[in-house]
A = this chain, B = another copy of it.
Amino acid sequence: MPVTADQQAEIDAQRSHPQPTLRAVSPGMEAHLYRAHDVLDHGFIRVIDYMGDDSSICQAARVSYGKGTKSVSNDEGLIRYLMRHWHSTPFEMCEIKLHVKLPVFVARQWIRHRTANVNEYSARYSILDREFYIPEPSALAAQSTTNNQGRGEVLQGAEAARVLEILKSDSQRSYDHYEEMLSETAADGGAQSGLARELARMNLPANIYTQWYWKVDLHNLFHFLRLRADAHAQMEIRVYAEAICKVVADWVPFAYGAFEDYRMGGATLSGKAIDCVRRMLAGETVTQETSGMSKGEWREFEGVLGD
């Protein structure tokens, strides 16, 4: 249960008081505000705030005084042009602020995206909750035999059971010990000092949940989504990226459509690869040997053309 009843009451209270504003308003985004979208077993994303909409991108590109456009189709065409030609600054004019609850090992990947603002729940200042990510059986995959940083087949039978047992029992034991070290009551009921929180936390494993406020502009968010909603990303961060994709599609539908077509669904071909396409279109049969590409490049090239 990612959100408690008390927390839900706070969320409901925030949703119950619309106020007038003169700013650009995205109706699709207003429907999301504050609501938690569940991710993994205890995580979520929820939109805390946003700035701008599709028209804000165009307004900035035109440095205009007012709404700065005549027609909606104009706006879509301009947004697609900007995306196609890597004009990134107008997309930076939209901003989103999310509250995210996520396992620490996911947070460690996520934070590598530096062009964002973050406030994380402090384990020096506060005590973390007893909440750990335990994968679904279908997510318990073996090491890939072909990809050094990927997954292969799903574990089966006794091996899967043993892994789940380890993850669950180690999580609980580490948390029991975390509480015991923090406590001002010793095991024998007597008084003890209680270890500093900034030290006790070092006993907690990487599947414990943390949370943060994360604020990022739309250009850098698209960069994050391109890498993290990609099939090669670790599943546990990809599900967060996918949940954010759905929100962004409701927030800035034109920009998201262009992103899907030009970034997520697109591919970058090398000079050698483009040359091969030209030769193939001219009727030549090109093989890896005659392509000038390494085996790895050729396999990836076939993946782009073949699928």
Partner among B48, B155, B202 whose Cβ is within 8 Å of the Cβ of A103: B202
Asked if A84 and B11 make an inter-chain contact with CB atoms under 8 angstroms apart, the answer reads no
Partner among B51, B64, B205 whose Cβ is within 8 Å of the Cβ of A202: B205
- Chain B's closest residue to A116 (CB) is B114
Asked if A61 and B119 make an inter-chain contact with CB atoms under 8 angstroms apart, the answer reads yes
- Chain B's closest residue to A109 (CB) is B124
- Chain B's closest residue to A198 (CB) is B234
Asked if A203 and B170 make an inter-chain contact with CB atoms under 8 angstroms apart, the answer reads yes
- Chain B's closest residue to A46 (CB) is B65
- Chain B's closest residue to A121 (CB) is B63
A 195-233 contacts with B by CB, 8 A? 195-199, 201-207, 211-213, 215, 217, 227
Partner among B49, B66, B166, B193 whose Cβ is within 8 Å of the Cβ of A52: B49
- Chain B's closest residue to A191 (CB) is B159
Tell me the smallest distance from the CB of A208 to a CB of chain B, in Å.
9
Asked if B34 and A22 make an inter-chain contact with CB atoms under 8 angstroms apart, the answer reads yes
CA distance A162 to B35 in the complex (A): 43
A 109-133 contacts with B by CB, 8 A? 111-112, 114-115, 117-122, 124-125, 133
Tell me the smallest distance from the CB of A7 to a CB of chain B, in Å.
4
Q: Which residues of B contact A90 (CB under 8 A)?
A: 119
Asked if B84 and A297 make an inter-chain contact with CB atoms under 8 angstroms apart, the answer reads yes
Partner among B18, B64, B111, B266 whose Cβ is within 8 Å of the Cβ of A21: B18
Asked if A198 and B112 make an inter-chain contact with CB atoms under 8 angstroms apart, the answer reads no
Asked if B119 and A60 make an inter-chain contact with CB atoms under 8 angstroms apart, the answer reads yes
Asked if B49 and A193 make an inter-chain contact with CB atoms under 8 angstroms apart, the answer reads no
Q: Hey, what's the 0/1 contact readout for A138-172 against B, CB within 8 Å counting as 1?
A: 01111110001111110110110011001100100
CA distance A143 to B108 in the complex (A): 26
Asked if B21 and A119 make an inter-chain contact with CB atoms under 8 angstroms apart, the answer reads no
Quick one: given A66-B14, A117-B89, A125-B148, are A142 and B194 in contact (CB under 8 Å)?
yes
Asked if A10 and B67 make an inter-chain contact with CB atoms under 8 angstroms apart, the answer reads yes
Quick one: given A49-B24, A105-B201, A117-B92, are A181 and B196 in contact (CB under 8 Å)?
no
Partner among B56, B103, B260, B268 whose Cβ is within 8 Å of the Cβ of A266: B268
CA distance A280 to B104 in the complex (A): 47
Q: Hey, what's the 0/1 contact readout for A73-103 against B, CB within 8 Å counting as 1?
A: 0000100110010100110110101010001
A 249-297 contacts with B by CB, 8 A? 260-262, 264-274, 277-278, 280-281, 294, 296-297
Can you list 6 A-B contacts (CB < 8 A)? A124-B149, A152-B196, A159-B186, A261-B271, A267-B274, A277-B281
Chain A to chain B: the 5 pairs with minimum beta-carbon distance, closest first: A265-B271, A10-B66, A142-B193, A18-B20, A92-B117
